[in-house]
Amino acid sequence: MRNGNYDVEQYVSDLREIFANESNEKTITDRVKPLAKRLAAEKAWFKDEYRETDASQGFGVHLLHEEENHDLAVFVFAWEPGKGVGAHNHNTWVVVAGIEGQEHEVRYDRLDDGSKAGFADLREAGEDVLKPGQVVSCGYDDIHGVWNTGEVISVSLHTYGRHLNHTNRSVFDVAAKTEKPLIVIVEDH
């Protein structure tokens, strides 16, 4: 901590300690949630550039930290109004803390067993809105879609057990019942 503020460096140190001593996904996310909330509430580490988005994808992904083996990746996501990512999985645990604006999340249940390549049968299972000061988590098998339904850029802190482009995750077309790989453009700061 510098000047009494909780910063990314201290957050990463705390993540490493949790990751070294815990293997249960729920225990890890339960321990990360209050730390993510604390970091998201701090403003000293936050840069204006974290609000920048990539026009081709409708959101910006700003890498704050990643271990050399791609574990413990920390990002700031900036979502343009009306933009997001449809139903997708992570194949790792994730903790998301709201910083600015709002994000609409729709959760899905997978009805098929995943054995048919490129096919997925999903059913909507619920929805929430993430606002500043709130924290949510997703597990390895969870599927959700996220959209900025507000009128201003939405910003959130995302902590992954493994870098999101190194988990073989998928995006789903719910109506067409298809599944394909999901890779996003990441800005390294």
User: What is the pairing mode between strands 135-138 and 178-181?
Assistant: unpaired
pLDDT-based confidence at 189, cuts 50/70/90?
low
Indicate if the pLDDT at residue 1 is higher than 70. no
Distance (Å, rounded) from C-alpha 42 to C-alpha 8? 10
pLDDT-based confidence at 188, cuts 50/70/90?
confident
Distance of alpha carbon 39 from its chain centroid, rounded?
15
Q: What does the DSSP 8-state code read for residue 101?
A: S
The CATH class given to the 8-188 domain equals: mainly beta
Per-residue pLDDT reduced to its tens digit, 61-110: 999 999 999 999 999 999 999 999 999 999 999 999 999 999 999 999 99
Q: Where are the domains of the chain?
A: 8-188
Cα atoms in the Cβ-side hemisphere of radius 13 Å centred on 66: 16
> Structure pTM?
0.95
Distance of alpha carbon 142 from its chain centroid, rounded?
12
Indicate if the pLDDT at residue 27 is higher than 70. yes
